[in-house]
Each structure stands twice: as C-alpha cells, then as structure tokens.
Amino acid sequence: MLDASEGYTTEDGRTIGGVVMEMKHITLRFGGVVAIKDISFDIREGEIRAIIGPNGAGKSSMLNVISGFYNPQEGQVFYKGELRPQMKPYQVARQGIARTFQNIALFDGMSVLDNIMTGRIRQMEAGLFAQAIWKGKAEREEVKNREAVEKIVDFLEIQHIRKTPVGRLPYGLKKRVELARALAAEPSILLLDEPMAGMNVEEKEDMSRFILDVNDEFGTTIALIEHDMGVVMDLSDRVVVMDYGKKIGDGTPDEVRSNQAVIDAYLGVAHD
Amino acid sequence: MPEQFIWGMEVFLNGLMAGVLYALVALGFVLIFKASGIFNFSQGVMALFAALTLVGIMEGQVPFSHLINAVFGTEIHHFGWHVPALAAILLTMVVMILLAWLVNHFIFRHLVNQEPIILFMATIGLAYFLEGFGDIMWGADIKKLDVGLPQGINTTIDEVTYNLFGYGFFIDNLDLWATFIAILLVIGLVLFAQYSKHGRAMRAVADDHQAALSVGISLNFIWVMVWSLAGFVAIVAGIMWGTKSGVQFSLSLIALKALPVLMLGGFTSIPGAIVGGLIIGVGEKLFEFTFGGMMGGATENWFAYVLALIVLVFRPQGLFGEKIIERV
C-alpha cells in the first residue's frame, strides 16, 4: 500500500503523484433513497481514475459530490490535503475542479470559441469595471486567454468549427467542445461524466485518444465515469467499482477484473 | 420638391428620435430577459424610480420626508443643498445597484427554476411596490428634471433645412442627445456582452445554469449584475423621458410602449430592440401624418400595438429574435 504523499511510476513511464483528493465515508441520500453508501476512495495526482458500475450504481451521484453539485449527508471530502467545507458548485469549479456532463451542458447559443472561453473564468481576474471600459489589464487578459484557448482548440482538433454556434454541432463534436471547455480551466482534477456515452466506435476511439493525450501532455488528473468496461480497462490506472451505492471493488484494472463481486455485479444485469 | 414630402421627412426624423426613446426602455427589458428569462414588467417603474431618485438627490430632498413629518410632527423637506448632476447620477447608480441586489436577494433568488409566468407575476408585484415606494420616498408631485442637457429647437438644422428646402425642420436638441447617448449605450452593451468575461458569463447563465456553475460562474452575482445594468439603462431612460416630459408617475406607463417594440425586435436581441424602437417611432409618426386626418387623429395611441400584432402573426419570434426550433 502506498503512502498518501508518495508517488510511483507506471509501466508506461508516467509519474503518478500523491493523493490530491480523498473521499472519506461519503453517504448521500435523497429522501429515503440511499444513492451512495459509505464510500471512501482517493484520487492521485496525474492518474486516470475510473468509476464504473452498472446503471443506477450511484456513479454520477459520486461525480456530483466531487464537483459540489450534491452535498453528502455524511462523510468528508479532502482536497489537496485540506478538509473541504460545504461549497457551491461554482466555488468548487474555481478551486480547479472542472467537469463535463453526461447529457452535455454547453451554451448552445454561443460559438465554440466563446464556450471554451467561459472555461477560462478562473484565469481572468480583471474586475467588472475594468471589463466594462475594456482597458489595460482586461484587454491583456483577454488576449492571453484567447491564446490559451486556441492551443486547446488545436489540441482537440476542432479548429474548423471555432466560430460555429454549438447548437448546430453533431453529438460527438459537442462532447469534444465540452471537454475543451473543461480543459481550458487548466483544472487540477478533470471530471468526465460518461465521455463516451452514445458514441460510435470511431468516436469512442477518438475520445479515448484525447483523454490519454490530455493526461500525457498536461499531466492532468482525470476522474471519469464510464459504462463501457473495455474502454475503461484500457484507459485507467485505477478503477473504483460501484453497485447499488456501495463500493465493491477498487484497484488496478487487472485486480478489478478478477474480483468476484465485480464479475457478479456485471453479469447480474443485462448489459451491452 | 412637394411640400408634403418635405414635411414627411421632418416627421420621419422626429419619428426616428421618438423611436430611440422607446428603444431605451426596451433595452432594459431585453437585458434582463436574455440573462434570466424574466420578463421584467417593472422596467418602466425602474425608470421612474431612477428619475425620482435623481431629482431627489439633486435637489437635496429628504427621503421619506412626508412619512417622517407625519410621524414626528416635524416640517422637514429639504437638506438645503444642491448636488451637481454628475454626482447625483453616480449616487443614483449606487441606489440602483442596491435595488438590484435587494430584488435578487429577496425575490428572484427564491424563484429559480419557476415557471416564466410566476416570475412575470413577481415583476408585476415589484412594479407596484416600487411605484408606491418611490411615492413614499420622494413624494408624488410632478418634478422638473434638468441635468444640463440642451433643449429646444436645434437652430443649425433649422437653418440648413430652410436654405435647402425653404422650410426649417423642427428637431429638438434633447432628441438629438438622446439618440447620441442611446447609440453609445447600445455599442457599449453589445461590446460588453460579446467580448468581456462578465458579458460572456451573462450569456452563459442565460443559456444553461448547470454548465455555468460548472465553469465557476456565480449565478447570483450575474443576476445582480444584470439587474444593475437594467437599472443603469433605467437611469438613462429616466433622464431622457424625465427631461422631456417631467418626472411624473405616468412615466411608468412607457413600459407599455416598450411591449410592441419588443414584439417587433424580439425579446432576446439588443440590436433588435433598437431597430424595433425606430420602426415603431417612425411608423406611428408617419401613419399619423398620412392617415391620421382621415381617422380623426390620435392613431399614435394604438398604431404600435396593431403593428406588433401583425408581426406576431407572421413572425412570432420577432424580426431579430432567436428562432424557436422545437425538435420532435
């Protein structure tokens, strides 16, 4: 067992750092329904951490707890070694936790570039007044951030749709724009809620490649939820398996694959 | 050139400028609607309230003086000082920002995700509250507002047109200023919305609350900001209308004139509000000029509404509104 502050090197030579986020005994209830029951796990710096499980296992709820959209009734969240007090989602975002949504939440009326620029809010500090008169700091900031955004646009290969209103894009590209917006925040942790849901094989391969590249190139810590077992096993360093709100497995893909509880959970439900 | 045509041109120009004033009010509606989906019925009263506050501050009136006098049996009305126009406008802006915060904190923060009709009803309540509050605070008498904007016939235009056509156009200086200020305001607002962080955040909030939260935008901050902007537009509209026809409570009725402007321009388009205002302004003046005589006059009272109705039938989203597409 590794110490929280220790890191290690993966087989393919990437460096994984210490624990950046730790969930301790999280319990989340909606009225009488228990969505998450006493779950603990951690996320290490630079790793790709997957949360998997059958439908209704509580994966998305978990992601919503991490990103502050839900507040758990019990348990604690430690971020960068400190206990995180109850926060609003926008405050969590400003701490450097960016996310995407299962059903895509983009600003349909705005162009791709503008959508991605909203991701830079954390990096822009000029006050309302400076913004209003568009001078000095505000102007420099806008230019600087625009450059950063262009880099991400290049990286995710969406140059050709830069000025297109997002509402007009096909599904696969929307997913990519959403990833770009989250990435623009230069997050400490990037949360992906089913990044490959509803995609065809080719789109899935593209998305997998981008996730790996992002992790590799920027060293971004990624926590993702996914349905597709095959994809998850190829992508991630460590996997948490959930079923009916409980954690039934946690470890490397190989460890999880040979875990009997996991096999049961997955074979017990009809699944593609 | 035929006389009728030259007169028509003068009417056209005056219509344009009346349209600018309508557009100013409509602009406040569009801002709030775009960012929060609230149709703010109280926009007209906000303009009235801003104008009342501005006059009150400039003249050094004691707020709530009637109430104070009634309760304590005193006879105070004025502080006895006069505040320069510019300082008074800034102070009024502070009051409007405070109002924006109060409105968000006590009303709309609690109505998130409610039906549009409920939000609309809330703004009607707000309109009546503000009207009464303005009355208690500053009194109900008609006041004169003079922030130093030039008024009266523009002699240059009068002379130039007299030399050209043998007939001098009557164009009011105040209308010229209103046009100029409105153009600046619109350019400023469009630039702000399109190219600044907060403008972008404003559009983002209008589009999707969840997504906005996920990138670190505080909804409450944006809503207060938008109501403050609407308050700022209300000040400008209040100054223009107040200077033109005095600060009186019928000022709040200009909100009704803004409705056809919005239907024409679309509720979500800033340039639409301007063009809509101009079309209504020019349309009603020209209609009165050409057909008014035949119909016994006063067509200006209804023309705008009929025009809006016709537009609604053929283009429900307005001339510039975002197209309503419903996927099946």
User: What does the pLDDT look like over B286-300, one tens digit per residue?
Assistant: 999 988 888 888 888
Lowest mean pLDDT among A264-268, B70-74, B236-240, B272-276: A264-268
A54-66 average pLDDT score: 91
* CA angle in degrees (0–180, nearest 5) for A199-A205-A208: 100
pLDDT of residue B88: 95
CB-CB neighbors (< 8 A) of B219 in chain A: 90
Distance from CA of A14 to the nearest CA of B (A): 28
Partner residue facing B214 (CB), from A67, A109, A110 = A67
Residue B133 per-residue DSSP state = H
pLDDT of residue A133: 63
CB contact under 8 A, B203 and A105: no
CB-CB neighbors (< 8 A) of B214 in chain A: 67, 89, 93, 98-99, 101, 105, 182
- Say whether A3 sits in a helix, a strand or coil: coil
Closest B-chain CA to A181: B215
State the virtual CA torsion across A136, A141, A142, A144 in degrees, nearest 10: 130
Q: In this predicted model, what pLDDT tens digit does every residue of B302-322 receive, in sequence order? A: 899 999 899 888 888 777 766
Q: Does A49 or B21 have the greater pLDDT score?
A: A49
* CA angle in degrees (0–180, nearest 5) for B177-B180-B184: 135
Structural tokens at position B141:
């008498």
Residue A242 per-residue DSSP state = E
Q: Give the whole-angstrom CA distance, residue B8 versus residue B289.
A: 7
Partner residue facing A89 (CB), from B206, B213, B225 = B213
DSSP H stretches of helix in B59-169: 65-72, 85-106, 116-138, 155-165
Q: In this predicted model, what pLDDT tens digit does every residue of B170-198 receive, in sequence order? A: 888 988 998 898 888 888 888 888 888 88
**pLDDT above 90 (res A112):** yes
Most confident of A9-18, A51-60, A163-172, B97-106: B97-106
CB contact under 8 A, B207 and A109: yes
Structural tokens at position B107:
């009303």
CB contact under 8 A, A105 and B211: yes
- Rama region for A251: left / alpha / beta (φ>0; ψ in -120 to 50; rest): left
CB-CB neighbors (< 8 A) of A93 in chain B: 213-216
Q: How confident is the model at residue B131 (pLDDT cuts 50, 70, 90)?
A: very high
Distance from CA of B103 to the nearest CA of A (A): 20
Beta-bridge partners for B172: B153
Q: How confident is the model at residue B84 (pLDDT cuts 50, 70, 90)?
A: very high
CB contact under 8 A, A108 and B216: no
CB contact under 8 A, A121 and B218: no
Q: Give the whole-angstrom CA distance, residue B46 versus residue B62.
A: 20
Residue B110 per-residue DSSP state = G
Residue A110 sits at the chain B interface (C-beta within 8 Å):
yes
CB contact under 8 A, A88 and B218: yes
What values do phi and psi take at A14, rounded to 5?
Answer: -85, 150
pLDDT of residue B126: 95
Q: Give the whole-angstrom CA distance, residue A215 versus residue B27.
A: 46
- For B73, residues 6+ apart whose C-beta sits below 8 A from its C-beta are none
- Candidates B196, B222, B225: best to mutate against A (most CBs of A within 10 A) is B196
CATH number of A8-96+187-268: 3.40.50.300
Distance from CA of A25 to the nearest CA of B (A): 24
Q: How confident is the model at residue B114 (pLDDT cuts 50, 70, 90)?
A: confident
Average per-residue pLDDT for chain B: 88
pLDDT of residue A74: 94
Query: Beta A97-99 vs A189-193: how paired, if at all?
Result: parallel
- Say whether A133 sits in a helix, a strand or coil: helix
A120-136 average pLDDT score: 69
pLDDT of residue B325: 63
End-to-end CA distance of chain A: 34
**Residue ranges of A 76-95 with Cβ closer than 8 A to chain B:** 88-91, 93-94
Q: What Å distances lie between residue B289 and A204, B14, B154, B157, B284, CA to CA?
A: 66, 12, 22, 21, 8
- The ranges assigned to domains in chain A are 8-96+187-268
**pLDDT above 50 (res B1):** yes
A232-271 residues labelled b (16+ CB within 10 A) or e (exposed): bbebbbbbbbbbebbbbbbeebeebeebeebeebbeeeee
Q: How many CB pairs under 8 A join A and B?
A: 93
pLDDT of residue A271: 47
Q: Does A236 or A198 have the greater pLDDT score?
A: A236
Distance from CA of A232 to the nearest CA of B (A): 24
Q: Tell me the percentage of chain A whose pLDDT exceeds 70.
A: 93
Residue B63 per-residue DSSP state = T
CB contact under 8 A, B201 and A118: yes
Partner residue facing B217 (CB), from A108, A121, A138 = A121
Q: Give the whole-angstrom CA distance, residue B114 versus residue B107.
A: 12
Closest A-chain CA to B228: A128
Q: For residue B96, which of B247, B246, B229 has the smallest C-alpha distance?
A: B229
What single-letter amino acid sits at B318? Answer: G
Residue A183 sits at the chain B interface (C-beta within 8 Å):
no
Distance from CA of A134 to the nearest CA of B (A): 8
**pLDDT above 60 (res B159):** yes
Residue B250 per-residue DSSP state = G
Q: In this predicted model, what pLDDT tens digit does every residue of B141-152 receive, in sequence order? A: 888 998 888 888
Closest B-chain CA to A109: B207
A199-225 average pLDDT score: 91
Q: In this predicted model, what pLDDT tens digit does every residue of B93-107 receive, in sequence order? A: 999 999 999 999 999
Question: By the 8 A CB rule, do B22 and B277 touch?
Answer: yes
Lowest mean pLDDT among A132-136, B46-50, B147-151, B166-170: A132-136
Q: What Å distances lie between residue A72 and A57, A62, A77, A86, A249, CA to CA?
A: 16, 9, 9, 9, 21
Lowest mean pLDDT among A97-111, A129-143, B17-31: A129-143
B154-180 average pLDDT score: 87
- Candidates A92, A131, A171: best to mutate against B (most CBs of B within 10 A) is A131
pLDDT of residue B234: 93
Q: In this predicted model, what pLDDT tens digit does every residue of A238-257 receive, in sequence order? A: 999 999 999 999 999 989 88
